[in-house]
Structure 1
Amino acid sequence: MIRVCLIGPGDAEWHFHKLLGMTNDELNEQIMGIAGVLAKNAEIVLLPDRGICFEIAKMYKKLGGRKVLGTVPLSDKDFGIKHLKNYMEAEVSRKKVFDEFIDTDNWYKQDLTHCLFGDVVLMLGNSLGSIGELAYGFYLYKLFVGKKPEVKARMKAIHPEARAGRKIPYSVIVYKPFVKGSLSLEVEEYVKRIGGKIFYVSSAKELEEVIKELRKAK
């Protein structure tokens, strides 16, 4: 099954209500729609922390989603993961939200590699963290596909669960109701230059259509 990596704002209140002007009802409707599509079509991977990704993961599991993986820097010595514990152990409908965890070693490696653990990245808002995760995911992918030949890099050296580009073209889906504008021209062109794909979707229905098309490419 295709795996979708979720990235997006941690401060949902500020991003969606104050910045984008969405109401609670509007946001909850979007969360329900996205989670429903993912539950039917994909397994998901995310950082177990506050924010939009966790809210979607809870609804995904409530709707019978198949598998939720968490990327966690279990061995980090600088910042630790105490603040993640409640999310890692969270339950919904008497089921654990997270089925498995991937140890990314430390927070620096977590941020650099997070997006490599999905076949597809679902961009759920242009926060500082999500922009960084997306950029470094595709930068490292560039090394793995040999677009910087002076650097020899293997994806399996990162982690056995890393899978960007293994089965389908490495892609990012930007969920337009959660962003203003689009990715910068430069970012788009760099992604395309290394063989990546970019999709913009305006609804959960369009998200499902893109995921189904990508699944056919396997």
Structure 2
Amino acid sequence: MDSAGSEDEAGWPQDAKTEINRINTAPNYYVVLHVTPNSSETDMKRNYYKLARILHPDKCKEPGAEDAMKTVALAYDTLTSPIKKRLYDAYMTDTNTQNGEHVESYAEWEARQGQVQLPAWLDRLLRIRGVSWIVLIGLLILLIPVLIIVFLLSIIAWVLCMPVNFFIRIFFPDKYRRMQEEAREQEEQLEAERAAMRAASRA
């Protein structure tokens, strides 16, 4: 039988004090929720509500009930999220918590996953005095051509995105003047039509 037991096991959950002690000594979140890694989300939800009914601080005045309920809620939130559950299962594999061995807490393990681990040879190399400066200068030398290319591309993009009228005025002044004259003629024609309409309305 799995260490987490079955959610239909007779006599579970027990009284609040017993459950608080069980949760505080549970080696993993599956044991906290009294489920197995293969249990369905429905089973986890059912057990969560069973524990909440007896451990909720509003109903239970046993010492440690609030902390136990927080652990139950955290276990439920973790195991019912596919992403978090996958990560938690990896933690259990890494730390061997399924065998009762506890190397580090899940929070410690999760924080460690976000750290970038440098290769051992590179870590030793960077510890030598002056090497880090040489590496930094080398990176800058490599980045300078990239920065120049980016700068040139930015200028090209700015030129290509210039307003059309400005571009035409600079490079095609004759065409620009014709466009201006046509615009003035259209404005004058529109104004004449407006004047005619006003005169017609007064008549």
> Normalization by structure 2: what TM-score?
0.24
Identify the structure with bigger relative contact order (alpha carbons < 8 Å, sequence gap 6+). 1
Larger Rg: 2
